Amino acid sequence: MEQFNLKGKVALVTGGNGGIGLAYATGLVKAGAKVAIWGRNMEKNKDAIQSLKDLGSEVAAFVCDLTDINQVDSSFEATMKEFGQVDICFANAGGGGPKGMLHKTSDEDWNGILNLNLNSVVYTYRKVIAQLIERKAPGKLIVTSSIAGLIGMGYASGYSTTKAAVLGLTRALAVELGRNNIQVNAILPGYIETELSINTPPSFKEAVLRRSCSGTFGTLDQMEGVAVFLASSASDFMTGQSIILDGGHTIHPG
């Protein structure tokens, strides 16, 4: 369908060199978009770019620590030099943060997860928004939140807090940018099987399956379609919203 065609569009995906971010990038490339990946690991960036090039679109990767505002600035400049524009931004980079009770969490660990999961989104969005408004161009901003931002996760208060915070940011920016024809939305994954899933304790996996209406885990290929939808004109009348992809985890009573 033509409304899902992303030819002529440039998408930026932070944390796009693996896992959910690479799944987003894969879907975007399949839909015809040019894609810029920002990631901290140069080797992972190279591998991701090779896999995306095999799909036939123009792609590039830039080494960037999203918690460093100077690196965000320089990576954005490099992206603009490479592609000339950014129409779509997936603020996907993030992490789990400190584990344990809040009163035992150090200031360093707390500020670290705020920088990684919240401030990095703000740093990236500010650059993208400024050039969209300067170009008077329509745009799409999408952040990866989590169902933890809705239901909470004990002993992971930093993760839950930051994933809830980006939902507030999503709604605020939807109001702020709506008349500029810039849509702002969020994706809230549940448990998605990635290359890191092997390290998840079996007890946690079992608990997830008990709560899931589908009785299954999510897979990376299931992230591609929602990425294309939110990046395309098919979602032009949708803003300030959250799409939950959790197999029914958040509605299951058990």
Distance CA(250)–CA(90), nearest Å, equals 23
User: Annotated catalytic, 159?
Assistant: yes
Distance CA(67)–CA(248), nearest Å, equals 33
Number of CB atoms found within 10 A of residue 75's CB: 24
Active-site residue, from 24, 123, 125, 159: 159
Distance CA(13)–CA(167), nearest Å, equals 18
End-to-end CA distance of the chain: 39
Residue 61, strand partner residues: 37
CB 68 within 8 A of CB 85: no
Distance from chain centroid for Cα 180: 22
Q: Which residue in 44, 5, 6 sits closest to 22, CA to CA?
A: 44
Distance CA(173)–CA(81), nearest Å, equals 26
Read off the DSSP letter of residue 140. Answer: E
Q: Which residue numbers are catalytic?
A: 159
